[in-house]
Amino acid sequence: MSTISETDVKTRMRALDLIKENFKRLLDELDKSGKLHLVFPKRTLSNTIYDQKSKILLLGPDIQYRSFTDINEAKKFTQTILMASIIYKALRNNEYPTIRDLFYRGKHTISYTSIDGKKVSENSWDDQRESDSVIRDLEVFLNILREDLLILSKEKGKVVGNLIIKSGDDTIDLSKMGHGAYAIEPTPDLIDFIDVDAEYVLVVEKDAVFQQLHRYGFWKKNKVVLVTSAGQPDRATRRFVRRLSEEFKLPVYILCDSDPYGFYIYSVFKAGSITLSYESERLATPTAKFIGVTLTDIFGTEIFKEILRDPQIKNTLEEIAKDVLKLKSKEPYLSIEERRNFVIKAKLRDIERAVELVGYRVAEACIGSPEYRSKIKRKEGVSGYPWFLTPEWIRELCIFFYTTSKLEIEAITGKGLRFLADIYIPRKIENEDWID
Amino acid sequence: MSTISETDVKTRMRALDLIKENFKRLLDELDKSGKLHLVFPKRTLSNTIYDQKSKILLLGPDIQYRSFTDINEAKKFTQTILMASIIYKALRNNEYPTIRDLFYRGKHTISYTSIDGKKVSENSWDDQRESDSVIRDLEVFLNILREDLLILSKEKGKVVGNLIIKSGDDTIDLSKMGHGAYAIEPTPDLIDFIDVDAEYVLVVEKDAVFQQLHRYGFWKKNKVVLVTSAGQPDRATRRFVRRLSEEFKLPVYILCDSDPYGFYIYSVFKAGSITLSYESERLATPTAKFIGVTLTDIFGTEIFKEILRDPQIKNTLEEIAKDVLKLKSKEPYLSIEERRNFVIKAKLRDIERAVELVGYRVAEACIGSPEYRSKIKRKEGVSGYPWFLTPEWIRELCIFFYTTSKLEIEAITGKGLRFLADIYIPRKIENEDWID
């Protein structure tokens, strides 16, 4: 009996064929034109574009040529071929390498005598950044996710809910996980969704909050697929959520802390990450909503008017302030007493992180702390991510800078798990009180 | 239909009774003696003892008194009562708080006028370290693990294998997890082991290596319960492994990187952690073996003789050197070429961490890097952990200091997953080539 799943056997054959095909084409071209080069979309920051229509980060139209006979490109060319051959061998040998393994496997020193007679030693690559970058190039060149080449990675995502899947040779009922959960596989494209009975997907940033909601039966009561990313989401969790959103048209809500770290987690789920922009098309969930916690949840929306009383702030914000004032207003969920006990003072690095999200203009206009004001340094090219430059986010971030406050999900569970599970989340969804 | 498991309902009743009982006893004593105080084992470093017989860290005989009427103890006393009442309320309200929640729930400011007429404000606690410490006191006072009070936490541990468990209301077959895994619940004492068909437990430090071995079918071929702690093990993973070891007499092997961080992970599994020594009796697995990777795996054992050629080293090591020389010798698993590509230079903080494990004597005697030698600072009271002062560990650490080398598990998978799964691990176990 083979110990390896049918799914993996098939995936392996597909991947081998794909690599063979692509490199055969390379050789055919060499035969025809005498040229040996790789051609694929350029993976640079300047070729990363936020597509307003699909609302995700994508690669632009620039093309990368990597030629064997160009002295400036020969090393990179050779590295790419080396990596492709290591991956090919791993596939043939029934292996499941990680990117760390691939780094080790390719690491060696080449010694040779240069044209001018000197003895020279050079490493195939010196650190993992180099080999990782080559792996990304290969993903773009082959137009395939590394997971489909059976390159594995650690995986933090977990899920429970009325969801039956087939993974490997097993059919698994994710509503029968007891107090534990199903740890998502690192290759979520190989999952077959057999049956789903859910109203929406709730993604919780914090594993501990996931545990509480799970144990409380939140997903049973509300017909929810409950997922945790356990911090920054990894690729598999993002792909898993995206597939649920795409294949079953399930709404996706993200529950994070109200701080720039939480906002960024949402952003990665929704729009993609900049280094992996070439994969947003498969990993991002552009319909995902940030359900909370928000600073307006605890300060209400009136505070924004208070902020605007400062004429300088009003001037700097200009048009956007008007758009913000048109948003629905709301009452805070916490009393003043609770707010005082639950709110945490933002640190300088929180402020700096928030500046990256919305740019300097908002930060400089609103920042309430003289101590931090003097420390924020302008960096070239930081004008914020387009998807954070909406009235809803500007309002949140203005309150963040003005009060230098952040808030954890636990501030809501501090009022009771029932409050979080039976009032806060359902009411936010019912009132469409989220940020898109 | 209730959405909460039967197991939790019962656990909740038990916990409520226990708290009620213990605090009733306090009141009874107040009635009888007029004294209101808590009495429980002292949780201090000086009262933490390594028990040579059971091979775990334990609390010693010192007793902590905490009296309401002693001005030095009144605040701590009140904090303890406050925390007990918050936990009690949470249990009554069907909640599952985390230690972070408990911190938030108890956080408030008390304002009063002092005897000399001054207005005074004082916080119940200022940061989570204070409230966490009180939770630990309560665990010791009530003689119960916090998990049995249904205090939850994030949980990283995963498992697959021929193991059927009952968790909550579900029966789960951990050999049917597909390419995913079962994420262990944060309250592993509530699991019922229904059936186990395994030869041993293999705990892998790295989730990515766990994924590879799982996918390769390692646990099927070798009848293994495969666990990953995904880094430093949390309480639930430790308790889960301990229960497998205790209830089924399964050998437990720990597979970590060969660096002080990996050694420490092994140490926490085996002997317990110093801050949680009061729980080692339930969390530690004293029979666990460190299976690798070791520096002797790649340098062989001959190198120790080379180290001893330095008369100064020989003198400093004295008797222990003789014991080391009596150990079985072995050939390295890697060629010199492979070693060169796979070994990583240890950083200063690795050296410092290793000093904590075995003390200064070994470090100062063996350290091969003049750069680090000058930077190691003696700290009072650092003489190493008793369970690292064995000939086997001394040999490893001597080679570590001498070569300032560390090694990742990936160096072995670099030679191929088959090598790790079909040769390295089985051979190490067959030859009893582990460190106890």
Residue B394 lies in a domain: yes
Instruction: Provide, as residue numbers in chain A, all residues whose Cβ is less than 8 Å from the Cβ of B418.
Output: 93-95
Residue B112 lies in a domain: yes
Count of C-beta atoms within a 10 Å radius of residue B174: 20
Task: Look at the block and give the residue holding tokens 């993996």.
Answer: A8
Residue B118 lies in a domain: yes
Q: Pick the last residue of a domain from A107, A122, A149.
A: A149
pLDDT for residue B1: 59
Instruction: Choose the closest CB to A172 out of B95, B101, B176.
Output: B176
**Type of residue found at B324:** V
CATH number at residue A106: 1.10.10.10
Cα A159 to Cα A175: distance, rounded to the nearest angstrom: 9
pLDDT of A1 over the 70 cut: no
Interface test with B, best of A82, A101, A125, A163 (most B CBs within 10 A): A101
Q: Search chain A and give the residue with CA nearest B338.
A: A108
pLDDT for residue B347: 93
Distance from A173 to chain B by nearest Cα, in Å? 10
* Residue B220 DSSP SS3: helix
DSSP string over A165-196: EEETTEEEETT--TTSEEEPPS-GGG-EEEEE
Distance from A199 to chain B by nearest Cα, in Å? 17
Contact A96 B215 (CB under 8 A): yes
Among A36-40, A383-387, B94-98, the range scoring the smallest mean pLDDT is A383-387
Contact B108 A341 (CB under 8 A): yes
Instruction: Choose the closest CB to A176 out of B4, B101, B172.
Output: B172
pLDDT for residue B245: 97
Task: Look at the block and give the residue holding tokens 């605007």.
Answer: A308
Contact A220 B104 (CB under 8 A): no
Contact B5 A413 (CB under 8 A): no
Q: Are A193 and A182 in contact (CB under 8 A)?
A: no
Contact B183 A183 (CB under 8 A): yes
Residue B139 lies in a domain: yes
Residue-range definition of the domain harbouring residue B31: 6-35+68-149
Cα B396 to Cα B401: distance, rounded to the nearest angstrom: 9
Q: Which residues, 6+ apart, have CB-to-CB distance to B162 below 8 Å?
A: B174, B175, B196, B197, B198, B219, B223, B225
Instruction: Provide, as residue numbers in chain A, all residues whose Cβ is less than 8 Å from the Cβ of B165.
Output: 178
Task: Look at the block and give the residue holding tokens 């994924």.
Answer: B211
Give the single-character DSSP code of B422. Answer: I
Contact B181 A183 (CB under 8 A): yes
Contact B101 A414 (CB under 8 A): yes
Contact B178 A169 (CB under 8 A): yes
Give the CA-trace dihedral at B335, B337, B338, B344, to 10 degrees.
Answer: 120
Contact A97 B417 (CB under 8 A): yes
Question: Nearest 5°: CA angle at A16, between A10 and A21?
Answer: 125
**CB-count exposure of residue A182 (10 Å: 0-12, 13-18, 19+):** buried
Q: Pick the last residue of a domain from B121, B149, B177.
A: B149
Residue B51 lies in a domain: no
pLDDT for residue B374: 85
Distance from A184 to chain B by nearest Cα, in Å? 5
Distance from A258 to chain B by nearest Cα, in Å? 16
A124-162 as b/e, with b when 16 or more CB fall inside 10 Å? bbeeeebbbbbbbbbbbbbebbbbbbbbbbbbbbbbbbb
Give the CA-trace dihedral at B391, B394, B400, B402, to 10 degrees.
Answer: -100
pLDDT for residue B381: 67
Instruction: Choose the closest CB to B154 out of A3, A170, A208.
Output: A208
Residue B390 lies in a domain: yes
**pLDDT tens digit sequence for A296-340:** 999 999 999 999 888 888 888 888 889 999 999 989 998 888 888
Residue B94 lies in a domain: yes
pLDDT for residue B221: 96
* Interface ipTM: 0.94
Count of C-beta atoms within a 10 Å radius of residue A379: 10
- Tokens at residue B4, please? 């909460």
Active site residues of A: 104
Low-confidence ranges of chain B (pLDDT < 50): none
A-B C-beta contacts closer than 8 Å: 224
Instruction: Choose the closest CB to A170 out of B5, B156, B178.
Output: B178
Looking from the CA of A15 toward its CB, the CA atoms found within 13 Å total: 29
pLDDT for residue B274: 78
**pLDDT tens digit sequence for A185-244:** 999 999 999 999 999 999 999 999 999 999 999 999 999 999 999 999 999 999 999 999
Give the single-character DSSP code of B227. Answer: E
Question: How confident is the model over A403-424, as a mean pLDDT?
Answer: 91
pLDDT for residue B432: 95
Backbone angles phi, psi at A328, to 5 degrees: -60, 140
pLDDT for residue B318: 82
Q: Pick the last residue of a domain from B126, B149, B172.
A: B149
Q: Based on C-alpha coordinates, what's the Rg of chain A?
A: 25
Residue A104 lies in a domain: yes
**Type of residue found at B325:** L
Closest CA to B400 of B359, B356, B368: B368
A284-306 as b/e, with b when 16 or more CB fall inside 10 Å? bbbebbbbbbbbbbbbbbebbee
Distance from B28 to chain A by nearest Cα, in Å? 32
Looking from the CA of B174 toward its CB, the CA atoms found within 13 Å total: 33
pLDDT for residue B224: 98
Closest CA to B40 of B151, B138, B147, B148: B138
What ranges in A47-112 are assigned the alpha helix state H? 74-92, 99-106
Q: Are A128 and A99 in contact (CB under 8 A)?
A: yes
Contact B190 A180 (CB under 8 A): no
Question: How confident is the model over A51-74, as a mean pLDDT?
Answer: 90
Backbone angles phi, psi at A50, to 5 degrees: -90, 115
Q: Based on C-alpha coordinates, what's the Rg of chain B?
A: 25
As for how many domains chain B has, the answer is 2
**Catalytic member of B50, B96, B104, B200:** B104
pLDDT for residue A381: 67
What is the average pLDDT value for chain A, to the nearest integer?
93
Instruction: Provide, as residue numbers in chain A, all residues whose Cβ is less than 8 Å from the Cβ of B127.
Output: none
Please state the separation of Cα A213 from the chain's center in Å.
23
Instruction: Provide, as residue numbers in chain A, all residues whose Cβ is less than 8 Å from the Cβ of B257.
Output: none
Instruction: Choose the closest CB to A215 out of B96, B177, B191.
Output: B96
